[in-house]
Structure formats: structure tokens, C-alpha cells
Structure 1
Amino acid sequence: MKLSVLLAISLLRLSTAEKLHLVRQDPSLPSLLRRLGNDRTRLHRMLSFLSDEKAKACFFGMSCYPATLAQLENPPFRLLYTGELPQPSDHLLTLCGTRYPDGLGSRLSYAFALEASANGCALVTSNSRGSDRAALYACLDLGTPGYVVCDAGLATKRIQANSLLTHANVISPFEPDDQAIPFRCLARNVVSTALGLVTVVLQAPLHSGALACATAALDAGRDVYVHEQALQSPTLGEGGLALVGMGCPTFSCYAELACSLDWSSSVQLRQTSSSDALYRFGSAWYSLEYD
């Protein structure tokens, strides 16, 4: 089926199941354009954006569509992305943390992301500041792209101007020029937690986006784990404590989490002095030890 037809169907005000049913009816593009009316300009914009082949599109029902995301009750029908999409063999781990961590929270995010990525985890983060940005620095330093789910369209300045994203696999369920507004941030949380097989919560205050992300993971039936070090802050750890009160387990280090998940932990992170370290974040230096 032509890309223009699939994009046109993606713009109709229908559920994903209804859109998939329409795809199977093999509608013509002219009939879809009549249904779109003035919205056909949005179709032309997406076709123009995709014409330079820097970004690609994937639709629900295709073999490239992430299997974990397809488990949602109403998954996005259309994904625009750069780089690659997750593979069924990936150990997808979604990382949630506040946009305003303290120094401990930022270092914790970097160190955990570095060790998890070194052990073969495919991290799922967002384009937000704070904890997610620290995790992206770890992915960049290690040379592992990870997956970034955006709260805006791929053509927006918010995404285009973020130099960290040039090294990542970037995914957006939105149209190219869609700006980040609250409901899109919430929708992004649903997608990012559905992508991951498991969600790890770092510093998360009450009433924060990080806590909303963890709640979305629980709603999607995902296991949610809380890092013990993230609970040390009286305010930045309140959301994590609330999750623990709901029954979410805690863990002290990546190796402990990996043991619970039966994932590899053959690479250990060590905080060390600058003289023998390969990785630095702020004033902290780290090295990786391979078994």
C-alpha cells in the first residue's frame, strides 16, 4: 500500500483498530482526501517531511512495528522515527526520572544508564531535561544509541536543536510540526513505558512527570522497579516511596535488578579516580570492568 494512503488513514479520527480495518479495505487516495477535507494539508506536510528520507514511517500491523507497543489497548497507528525501531530481541528498559534532579539524581541516572547499556540493555528515555538527559549522555559516551520517545514532532526546533538526539534512535507518535504541550507529554509517557519490558524509576517527586510515567507503566502491565538511592532525598524521593508503598520492588544496583530479570550483568560499573577512568559525568569518574 502506498505511503500516502497510510498517512492519510493515520490522520482520520478513528481508533487504531478502525484504521487497521480500513487499511484492509484498500481505500483509494481520492476517497481518503475527500474524507480529510482541509486536513489534507497535514498529509502533504508529512509527505514533504518524509521525502528527504532522513525520517521514516512505520504503521501498526507492519513487521517493523514494536511488538511491546502493539500490546497497548489503542497503540499509535503511525510512528515517525530516525535511526531504527526496537527489535523483538532487545532487552528494552524504560528509565523514568524527574526533569529537576539534584546532583545525586543526575549522577545516579548517568551511572545506571552506563552500566545497563554496557550489559546490553536497550534504554528507552525521552527528550526531556534532567534525568533523561543524563542517561542520554551515558549512551553517547558508551556509543549505544538507545531509543528516545519524543513529546513533539521530529521537525520541531525542540527536537532538531537537541544535539544529543543525533546519536539516538528517535521516535515520535506525532506529526512533524506538533509542538510539546501537556497532553502530548502524557501520551509520550504511555508510549515510552509501553515500549519497555520493564520500567526503572529514579528520583521522582510527587505530582511529577516521572511518577506519571511510572503510573502509565503500571497501567500497561509493566513491572516497575525503584532505585534505592533515589529514595534518599526527602522531596525528590516521595514519588518513589509512594510506588514502594503500592508494592513496587526496590533494587540497590544494576546487578541486583538484572538478577531479578534474568538479564546479563557481566559488566560492572566502578566509581574511581580520574587517573584510571574512561567515563566522566560532572565531578564523578567511572570505569567498567568486564568479566
Structure 2
Amino acid sequence: MDKIYVAALQMVPGIGNRRLMKLIAFFGDARQAWQAGRSDLVACLDEATCHNLIGIRQKLDILALAEKWQEQGIRLSLLTDPDYPALLKPTFNPPLLLYYRGELPADNNSMAIVGGRRASAYGLNAAQMLGSELAAAGVCVVSGAARGVDTAAHRGALTKGRTIAVLGCGVDVSYPPENRDLLDRIAGQGAVISEYPPGTSPHPSFFPARNRIISGLSRGIVVIEAAERSGALITVEHALDEGRDVFAVPGSIFSAISKGCHNLIKQGAKLIDCTGDIFEEYQWSNSGTGAKAGELDLQPDEFAVYEQLSFDKPISLDEIVAATDLTVSAIAYIVLQLELRGLVAEHGSQYYVRTKGGI
């Protein structure tokens, strides 16, 4: 029950982690701090913060709040709890309280995959492939549920195993909005985590802070299509500060969105082009990472269409028609079936690529 009082105290403007820990140390626990009188509170807080606390205390029904969160499937984990993620606990400035939906990781086999929001077909495919194959090997994939690389990594992981999304808003807030269903799926096969109370709207200042949690939850971090000033590089900085491994997927030398990755490689990050490069660092088994291309069990017409597609260059429907003897309607049907099997993805209006997530 003490956790709900910690959460309530965190909602008070002017009370951050340091002041909160000071309050708990002074009063013995969060409940006593929450219920303390003004004369006792002024020993720890300035007048304005003391006024804020008393004002919120008069309006907030603690028991009703706890019941509401329980109904929403929102759970809390204190830094001192045994279920608090072991990798995150010893990092610099770990959240005193985590809010989450789903199940927190019970082991340390976690890898982060981060990258650009405006990813190319190549970057999305790389993220989905790595996410899928890491999850198939029992590794939990950690990312930030942002558009682009993050979303692709989560989707890949969901086809095979566990994944964790760390948000820069409340765990009951869908951001970006189109990822509402994805976040619900993640909560069912892993966890959606935040240090911000439920109901908190996303704010630009929250995302750099949440990146330390992505890094802290992970043994290492994989960077895909990060530009020179990409926000993903903030996660890398946290990883280096905590002594975590950094891996980078190379891109085209002409691609501005891979400049950040190339700089990391120059500075000593390990270049990777498959999950085997990661597995060898930790002596993880890569068994069960999916079927090979020759085992896709495609019909002749399906293979004819699939063969025209690339993993990194989107091909239009018209180009497929020109390269085969099939009609437009037949190709459209085949492409739809391949999409449903996770072998093909649309990248722009009627442009298609192969996807590694289904392999």
C-alpha cells in the first residue's frame, strides 16, 4: 500500500526523487509523509511545495486512485521491491517508482533496439528482423514505441517472444496514437513501462529522460538508422555511461539517416549485420530464430511475385506486373496474402518490400 502514497507524493509539483527520498527518510515511510501536518512538513519542504502537497491531498482520494489503476491493469514497482528490474536498479538515477502494464522481466537477457523515426524500408526491415530473432532466442527486446525503428523492433519481437516499451508519458496514454493496439499487445507479451504517473501526456522533455531507462533495462543497445543528431544517440550516451555494449547497423554511405550509426562504428561500436554478431558477445544460443527463405512454402505464382521484391528498395505494383505474366488483380491478391503471412510489407502507396519479420 505504501507504493500508492509514493505515487501520490510524486504528483506534487516541486517533489522530485531527491525530495521524495528525503521525506520518506524523515517520516519513516511515504504514508506518514503524505499524512503529515504542515508544521512537520516545513522541516523538509519549502512553503510553496508544502502548500502544493496539502492542496493535492485535499483533492485526491488515494483509495479510489489505487482501485482505478488496478482496474486498468496498472501496477507499481518500487526501487526496493524484489521485482524491480535488476539491470536498472544499480544505474545512475533509477526511477524510485515504475508504473507498468504487463510483467516486468525476471532475467537480465534484454537488448535495446533504437533508431530513427523516419526510417527507410531497409531500417524497418533490419529492426524487425533483429527484434524477431532476438525474441525467438529468448531475449527480451526493449525500445521506446516511437514511430519508425522502435515500432518495427517491437513488431518483430511480438512475432516470437517478449518485448518492453518504455514511454515518455503515462502507461495508459497511447503515443504515438496509432500504436494503441501495439502497446496493448506489448503489455500482453511483456511490459509497457513509465516513470510518469498514469494520465501524464507526452512532453518533449520526457523522452530524453526515458532513454536512460531503455539503456538501464538492457545488456546492450543496437542502433539502426540514427542521424547525426538523432535522439537515439542520447540512449547511447546513457549506455556508455553505464558500461553497456553498443552495436550499430551500417547503412548506405550516401544516407544521412545512417551518419550517426557510422560515427558510432568509427568510435568503436561493434558493426553488426545479423543477430549472430550479438549472440557471440553474450554466448546466447541463436537456435529457433526462424525459417530460411527456402522454407517459405510458396506457390509458383507467390514465388514469382516474392522474387521481384527487395528487402531494402520498395517496388511498385506496376513494376511487379511488368516483370511477371500475372494480372494486376492476381498480383494484388498474392501481395495481400504475403502481407498477412508477414512476408511482405507495404512501404508507401502500392510499393512493397520483403520483410524479415516473417522469416
Give the shorter-chain TM-score range: 0.7 to 0.9
8 Å Cα contact 2:147-2:176 kept in structure 1: no
One-letter amino acid of the counterpart of residue 174, structure 1: Y
What is the DSSP-based 3-state SS (H/G/I as helix, E as strand, rest coil) of the residue aligned with 1:85?
Answer: coil
Q: 2:128, 2:153 within 8 Å by CA — same for their partners in 1?
A: yes
Q: Percent same amino acid at aligned positions? A: 23
Q: 1:103 to 1:285 in 2, by over 3 A?
A: closer
2:105 paired residue number: 86
Contact 1:5 1:32 in 2 (8 A): no
Q: Decide which moves more: 45-54 or 183-192.
A: 45-54
1:207-218 alignment, distance < 5 Å: 207-218=229-240
Q: Which residue of structure 1 aligns with residue 28 of structure 2?
A: 25
Structure 2 stretches of 5 or more lacking a match? 42-49, 299-337, 346-352
Do the aligned partners of 1:93 and 1:196 also contact (CA within 8 Å) in 2? yes
> Which residue number corresponds to residue 158 of structure 1?
175
Structure 2 match to 1:253:
274
Higher gyration radius (CA): 2
| Aligned position for 1:280 | 343
One-letter identity of the residue aligned with 2:197 = E
Distance 1:146 1:183 in 2: 24
Change (3 A) 1:224 1:200: same
The structural deviation recorded for 1:17 is 8.9
Q: Do the aligned residues in 1 keep the contact of 2:132 with 2:158 (CA within 8 Å)?
A: no
SS at match of 2:208: helix
Aligned CA distance change for structure 1 residues 21 and 262 (closer, same or farther; 3 Å)? farther
| Structure 1: distance between partners of 2:244 and 2:356 | 30
**Among residues 232, 237, 261, which one is paired with 1:240 in the alignment?**
261
In the alignment, the residues of structure 2 paired with residue 235 and residue 138 of structure 1 have an alpha-carbon distance, to the nearest angstrom, of 25
Give the structure with the higher percent strand.
1
1:85 Cα deviation (Å)?
Answer: 0.7
Aligned counterpart, 2:8: 8
- CA pair 112-272 structure 1, distance change in 2 beyond 3 A: farther
User: Matches of residues 183-202 of structure 1 in structure 2 within 5 Å?
Assistant: 183-202=205-224
Q: Quick one: which of 59, 65, 68 aligns to 2:84?
A: 65
The CA distance in 2 between the partners of 1:43 and 1:238, in whole Å, is: 51
| 1:148 corresponds to 2:165 | yes
**SS of the counterpart of 1:267?**
coil
Q: CA RMSD in A?
A: 2.9
Q: Which runs of 5+ in 1 are unaligned?
A: none
Distance 1:288 1:2, change over 3 A: same
Cα deviation, 1:91-130, whole Å, max 9, x if unaligned, reads 1001111111111111111111111111111000112010
Inter-CA distance 258–51: structure 2 relative to 1 (3 Å threshold): closer
Structure 1 partner of 2:310: none
Identify the residue that residue 178 of structure 1 maps to in structure 2: 200
Q: Which amino acid is the alignment partner of residue 77 of structure 1?
A: L
The offset of 1:260, in angstroms, is 1.8
Is the partner of 2:84 in helix, strand or coil? Answer: coil
8 Å CA contact 1:10, 1:78 repeated in 2: no
SS at match of 2:183: helix
Give me the whole-angstrom Cα distance separating, in 2, the residues matched to 1:128 and 1:46. 28
Does 151-160 or 272-281 show the bigger shift?
A: 272-281
Q: Matched residue of 1:65: which SS?
A: coil
- Matching residue of 2:152: 134
Rounded to whole Å, the distance in 1 between the matches of 2:132 and 2:355 is: 12
TM-score normalised according to structure 1 size: 0.86
- Count the aligned residue pairs: 286
| Shift in Å, 1:252 | 2.3
